[in-house]
Structure 1
Amino acid sequence: MHDIRAIRDNPAAFVAGWSSRGVDDADGLVADILRLDKELRTAQTTGQDALAKRNAASKLIGAAMGKKDMVEADRLKAEVEALKGDIAAAEAVEADVGKQLRDLLAAQKNIAADDVPEGEDESGNVEVSRWGTPREGGPAKDHADLGEALGLLDFEAAARMSGARFAVLKGGLARLERALGQFMLDVQTTEHGYQETSPPLLVNDAAAYGTDKLPKFADDLFRTTDGRWLIPTAEVSLTATVMGQLLPETEVKTPIRMTALTACFRAEAGSAGRDTRGLIRQHQFYKVELVSITRPEDSEAEHERMTACAEAILQKLELPYRRLLLCKGDMGFGARKTFDLEVWLPSQGTYREISSCSNCGDFQARRMDARFKRDGEKKTEFVHTLNGSGLAVGRTLVAIMENYQQDDGSIRVPDALRPYMGGVEFVSAQ
């Protein structure tokens, strides 16, 4: 959500900011916002003036009746009734225009940070760094072929019971998936100081709206029969733990850091034709999520730290990857600045996204009214929220299968995961 006062004070900055993020007529958009803002304030002033007049007239009624001036008393009563109508009319306009303004503001992307590069799509992203050496040698098998050949990955059974974009993992592959999630969670909690959290997988409208998933991305979510939403990522429920809260500064002087290993659910409504085979883009998957709640002055450093925490997993697993700074046209809706981590997939001969770490500034906090109060200050401020994958378990499993595949079709277990696999060194056909 955006601060209407900031738009009112510097409309040109928002025209430029939204134009750089792909809004075709940012001038017209800002003009509409300012028009609605003016109408809203006019209705509020009209209503307040009518209320003041009604209160004054009501007091005079008693005085007139005390003087037995019934003519004046009746006139004042008629005036009060008329003013009640004016107040109701102003309140109706205020409610209608206020909703229009809130809906319009809620539909707009966050404004990018100053150091985010220009660009319309992924071609404008900037590579920041690389780590590791991509696998060399003969042609690598796709993870789906590897898993099916081992008899440990069954897409047909999943399709019979659930449809497309689901999978059944068996035996050593299912154990490897479980080991990955536990390994990631342990690293983020014991080495990086995130608090392990087990949040709800179902959230209400307010939580989904507050984390900018509603209304824009409703088609990408699954909804239950009682009106709740299955989380697309634990970002939603972890961030919503501060929804509607006023925190003392002591709680955010050191950023609040939470992590969770959860199932995630995405309808993938906008992904027709992309990654239809395999585990890259599933309706149901597991992910270790990282969320931080900070003071405004701490969020930039926290963003770098969070990204490094995600990178640490890839380094421990010895998976080649690169870090990208996303351009304005490729960032997510609520992001102010985003780093993507892309892991090397030998079968595709390219890097693919495995983590996205975003600083949302106060964008989500405004939507969910999450604030803090500095020591000794009366005014409150919005917190900053950050989120990232630490990592997506399914995509990490894909990367391990492809980067650690052996000539006999088995998959070597990375050294870091062997304690979680009971010492097993290879995942082989059952």
Structure 2
Amino acid sequence: MHDIRAIRDNAAAFDAALALRGLAPVSPEILSLDADRRSRIAAAEAAQAEQNKASKEAGAAKGRGDEAEFERLRALVSAKKDENASLQAEAAALDGQLRKLLLDIPNLPLDSVPPGADENDNVEIRRWGEPRALDFTPVEHYQIAGVRPGMDFETAAKLSGARFVVLQKGAARVHRALAQFMLDLHIEQHGLTETWTPVLVLSEMMEGTGQLPKFGEDSYQTREGFWLIPTSEVTLTNTVNGDIVDHASLPRRMVAHSQCFRSEAGSAGRDTAGMLRQHQFEKVEMVSITDAENGVAEHARMTRCAEAVLEALGLPYRTVVLCGGDMGFGARITHDLEVWLPGQGKYREISSVSYCGDFQARRMNARYRPEGGGKPEFVHTLNGSGLAVGRALIAVLENGQQADGSVILPEALHPYLRGKTRLGADGDLV
């Protein structure tokens, strides 16, 4: 959410930043609503002052026995009371309109974000590893002989419909091992605090991180009003919702492994084959809560945490900074990690690491108390996949595939698989 005072102070800069996202100026509408709201508040305060004055004068008139003046002033008190109530109601309605407008406006990109309209304008900033040279034609993950016995889309469709999967045999074990490996790496080497959270949350929590009100159709809601989380970014970030924390407790670095749910309402027809885009999936999510001074540095650190997972698994990847037109709603800057998938012959996103500034904190009213005292300040938030478990499984399977339909598994996973090193062509670990 945006600071209305900052928009008043520099509306041109606000609109210029939104232009990086390809959006038209909105400050005229915002400032018009704000001016109307403030005028109603001022008028209500004036009516209240006149009501108080008339009430005081009415008491004096009654005391001196001037009944005519008393009745006139009593009528004036009643009129000003009604006027005050009416103006306050109008101000509240305008405040609601202004809040809704501000909630629907995305975050402002940092100056360092490259201009551009879509993913074609993203800028690669580094690359790690070389795609393996193959003497056979690679296939996509769900076409690998050793994967097919353990990746059942037909049964999943019978159970739940399209974009679900049932994992069995070696594929299920590798999937589970990946999640455990990622958690251990982040906890033991990166200093993140393991956290377990609910997957059902209140609407206020979804609003706090920016999924509501604008993107409600992309998530699932129960009949009781709970929302299924699209990622544990929602729960981890909202752990400070409404709080004032001590500055000494920052940064707070958390990691969670959770089930995630997305309706993918706007992605009909995209990546429908295999596990790449599912309604239910798992992620190991990283969230940091910090201050303004350390936000950009924390973003670089979190990006390295995600990159370290891919490097430990021996998966070639590239890191790109998203252009303004391709960046997510709540981000000020985003690094995408794209892993090499031989079956597709291209790099595909496996992690997004975003710095949100105080955008989410304003929605959550999450603040910290400066060490030297003074007025509480909004925290700054960051989130990133560390990694999407299903997509990591895809990458491991495709990059490790062999001509005979088996899959050689990364050495980092061997301890999690009781020393097994390969997924056999029959789907079992060997």
Whether these two folds match at TM > 0.5 is yes
What pairs up with 1:11-410 in 2 under 5 angstroms? Answer: 11-23=11-23, 25-26=24-25, 29-137=26-134, 138-146=136-144, 150-252=148-250, 255-410=251-406
Give the Å deviation of 1:164. Answer: 0.3
| % same residue | 54
Matching residue's letter, 1:67 = R
SS of structure 1 residue aligned to 2:287: strand
SS of structure 2 residue aligned to 1:263: strand
Give the Å deviation of 1:54. Answer: 1.6
Matching residue's letter, 1:2 = H
Give the Å deviation of 1:347. Answer: 0.8
Which digits, 9 at most, give the CA deviation of each residue in 1:190-242, with x for residues without a partner?
11111111111011111101101011111100000111110000000110111
> Any conservation in 2 of the 1:266–1:283 contact (CA below 8 Å)?
yes
Unmatched runs of 5 consecutive residues or more in structure 1: none
> Any conservation in 1 of the 2:141–2:147 contact (CA below 8 Å)?
no
Give the Å deviation of 1:147. Answer: 6.2
CA distance in 1, matches of 2:227, 2:45: 39
Matching residue's letter, 1:53 = E
Matching residue's letter, 1:230 = L
Of 99-108 and 261-270, deviating more is 99-108
CA distance in 2, matches of 1:50, 1:212: 38
CA distance in 1, matches of 2:147, 2:329: 40
SS of structure 1 residue aligned to 2:348: strand
SS of structure 2 residue aligned to 1:227: coil
Matching residue's letter, 1:19 = A
Unmatched runs of 5 consecutive residues or more in structure 2: none
> Any conservation in 2 of the 1:141–1:402 contact (CA below 8 Å)?
yes
Matching residue's letter, 1:6 = A
Rate the CA distance shift 1:149–1:243 in 2: closer, same or farther, 3 A.
closer
Matching residue's letter, 1:312 = A
Moved over 6 A (4+): none
Matching residue's letter, 1:158 = A
Matching residue's letter, 2:195 = T
CA distance in 2, matches of 1:161, 1:249: 49
Superposed CA RMSD = 1.1
CA distance in 2, matches of 1:76, 1:147: 91
- Calculate the TM-score normalised by the size of structure 1: 0.97
SS of structure 2 residue aligned to 1:360: strand
> Any conservation in 2 of the 1:150–1:410 contact (CA below 8 Å)?
no
CA distance in 2, matches of 1:417, 1:411: 13
Of 185-194 and 64-73, deviating more is 64-73
Counterpart residue number, 1:8 = 8
Which digits, 9 at most, give the CA deviation of each residue in 1:66-85, with x for residues without a partner?
22222222222111110111
- Calculate the TM-score normalised by the size of structure 2: 0.97
User: Number of paired residues?
Assistant: 425
Counterpart residue number, 1:426 = 422
> Any conservation in 1 of the 2:255–2:286 contact (CA below 8 Å)?
yes
Give the Å deviation of 1:150. Answer: 3.9
